[in-house]
Structure 1
């Protein structure tokens, strides 16, 4: 059986994250929302809060694993994409927002959901 591509593995991780977050009561607003500023893996609603979720999967935990892969430059791209989303989807523009991160790696079989992982400052 051929190895799965990293793109397919990433899509599988997004599917698992989406299922988990929906089980926790969040509602999907958008998936793989893209603009010229970047892409948002999942945009969800938690009560009245718009949640921008970055899903990260890493095969190996070297270099800090999935969470460490979200550096300052990546955070800035996510913030700009989120701002663009809110400009395009004005219905959500006045709602509180937060950035969550869901990480998974092959060494740990569980999903790690970090609420409010970083802010837009």
Structure 2
């Protein structure tokens, strides 16, 4: 007997698409959780998760002393596949949102900042590329 709050079983392509979307969302949350734990183990404080600014969403914002670290999380079957998913357009959107976030910080746009790319592979291993957006 099905639980009363359970969604009805999938009956076609829209249901399959929705299920893939739900799995992708949950996978993204799990990857962000892994990356947040990675930064916490290194003594960083997570200030915000999934912060939405004018350019779009920033996955994680960590504090490293006076510096803010804006982290884009990419998950895929391998680190190479994950890094290939980052586009110049995403980088530009993340930078715009980071500027908005820093605009509210005590030092404003003079806040020291860094942009990291955190990769999570199919086994759940985390690899962080610090200053990943330099020159981008």
TM-score, with normalisation over the residues of structure 1? 0.84
RMSD: 2.2
Gaps of 5+ in 1: none
Q: Structure 1 pair 115/55, CA: closer, same or farther in 2 (3 Å)?
A: same
The count of corresponding residues between Structure 1 and Structure 2 is 116
Aligned-residue offset at 1:69? 1.1
Aligned-residue offset at 1:51? 0.3
Gaps of 5+ in 2: 1-18
Matched, 1:116 2:128: no
Q: Distance in 2 between matches of 1:114 and 1:90?
A: 24
| Runs of 4+ in structure 1 over 6 Å off | none
Aligned to 2:118: 102
**Residues 23-51 of structure 1: per-residue CA shift (max 9 Å, x gap):** 01111111110023200111111122110
Q: Distance in 1 between matches of 2:93 and 2:134?
A: 13
Higher strand share: 1
Q: Structure 1 pair 6/92, CA: closer, same or farther in 2 (3 Å)?
A: farther
Aligned to 2:51: 33
Q: Is the 8 A contact 1:33 1:42 kept in 2?
A: yes
Q: Distance in 2 between matches of 1:75 and 1:84?
A: 14
Aligned-residue offset at 1:92? 4.7
Aligned to 2:7: none
Q: Distance in 2 between matches of 1:41 and 1:92?
A: 22
